Amino acid sequence: MSAGESDDKAFIDTLIAYSWDEGLESDLAYDIHVSMPSELPLRLVDRRHEIVDTQRGGLRFRNRYDGSVSSEPPKDLHLHELVDLDVDDVDAVIAFCNEFGLLWLPKGVIESHEVPGVQSAVASWDHPPSWRSVEPVIDVREVQLALRLLRATTASWVAYQANTKLDAAWVDEGLQQPIGDDQAMRWMLAIINPGLVSAYPSLVLTRAGETAQSLETGLGINHGISLYDAICVRIYNDVVTHRPYNYCENELCRRAFLTKRDPLERSKTRTSGVRFCSDVCKRRQDSREYRRRKNQESK
């Protein structure tokens, strides 16, 4: 991969795509460009719906009766909560959606011929995609597929930054193996771009002097974007900034991350010289190394 800059357009990097055969390179190469050369604003996420029960492979949801109707997920949600989620655990998926927002596949993704497995998956769902559903039920497999696609896209960009092949990011999620990095990158575009449509800036008015009024009740608010779109924005911002990831030195974690998770948020903005993704990982690795030293000393 080679890097460079252009004065008249946002230039990120050049991808040299690997072929299907190990050790061979195709002659495909892509310059990756972005439509906006700066990070997109992290808008509030629509949390008006909450999942209340399951029904024949579906998740029944309703309008939220209490609590905030919008959420503000962490900036690095895609590198922490999304990665840590057990997608096969329906209860965990429900808890994730109820905390951050209901997740579904955008129409552009479902109708895409690029995204792996989507068209064949739709035919097997008991409930149609939520954007054309009259009944307030979404098929749990749609939510799980959306999670897997977003996780694979995140992992692909992490692998790209590490200058490694991208196919494992998709295979590890139980998805089709891409035929080379060029196909994996096309899948990434087909997954991310439909999720960026709603990520435009907006104006909100709140009454001057009324400290009790929040952004959720201001004039012009639409309660935010969907969770799918919010995750796509976060991946897009990683691409735009091209910041290198840190890798957690906890040997049982090895997470790619940008900012350290600290309950007190004192290290939240540190992005360099950070060895662990969280204080929890640091304590666990310190304990592990302490036990090893003690075992060595006792021999």
What is the tally of structural domains in the chain? 2
Contact 188, 156 (CB under 8 A): yes
Mean pLDDT score across all residues of the chain: 82
Number of other CB atoms surrounding residue 166 within 10 Å: 25
Could you tell me if 259 and 199 lie in one domain?
Answer: no
Residue 33 lies in a domain: no
Could you tell me if 172 and 252 lie in one domain?
Answer: no
Give CA–CA dist 140/137, Å, rounded.
9
Residue 26 lies in a domain: no
Give CA–CA dist 58/139, Å, rounded.
4
- Who contacts 32 (Cβ-Cβ below 8 Å, separation ≥6)? 11, 12, 13, 14, 15, 185, 239
Q: What is the pLDDT of residue 79?
A: 95
Confidence of residue 74 (pLDDT cuts 50, 70, 90): very high
> Is pLDDT larger for residue 202 or for residue 104?
104
Confidence of residue 220 (pLDDT cuts 50, 70, 90): low
Mean pLDDT of 186-195: 94
Could you tell me if 113 and 132 lie in one domain?
Answer: yes
Could you tell me if 132 and 219 lie in one domain?
Answer: yes
Residue 71 lies in a domain: yes
Separate counts of helices (H) and strands (E) for the chain: 9, 9
Q: What is the pLDDT of residue 140?
A: 94
Mean pLDDT of 33-61: 87
| pLDDT(188) > 70 | yes
Give CA–CA dist 11/2, Å, rounded.
12
Q: What is the pLDDT of residue 155?
A: 96
Confidence of residue 3 (pLDDT cuts 50, 70, 90): very low
Residue 32 lies in a domain: no
Can you give the residue range of the structural domain that contains 285?
246-297
Residue 265 lies in a domain: yes
Mean pLDDT of 66-70: 86
Could you tell me if 50 and 125 lie in one domain?
Answer: yes
Q: What is the pLDDT of residue 20?
A: 45
Residue 203 lies in a domain: yes
Calculate the CA dihedral of residues 8, 14, 17, 18 and round it to 10 degrees. Answer: 180
C-alpha distance from residue 251 to each of 67, 124, 255, 282, 296 (Å): 38, 40, 9, 10, 19
Q: What is the pLDDT of residue 176?
A: 92
Could you tell me if 205 and 286 lie in one domain?
Answer: no
Q: What is the pLDDT of residue 4?
A: 42
Residue 197 lies in a domain: yes
pLDDT above 90: percentage of residues in the chain = 38
Could you tell me if 191 and 59 lie in one domain?
Answer: yes
| pLDDT(102) > 50 | yes
Contact 61, 48 (CB under 8 A): no
114-134: b or e for each residue (b if 16 or more CB lie within 10 Å)? ebbebeebbeebebbbbeeee
Residue 4 lies in a domain: no
Helices 90-100/227-241 angle, 10° precision = 80
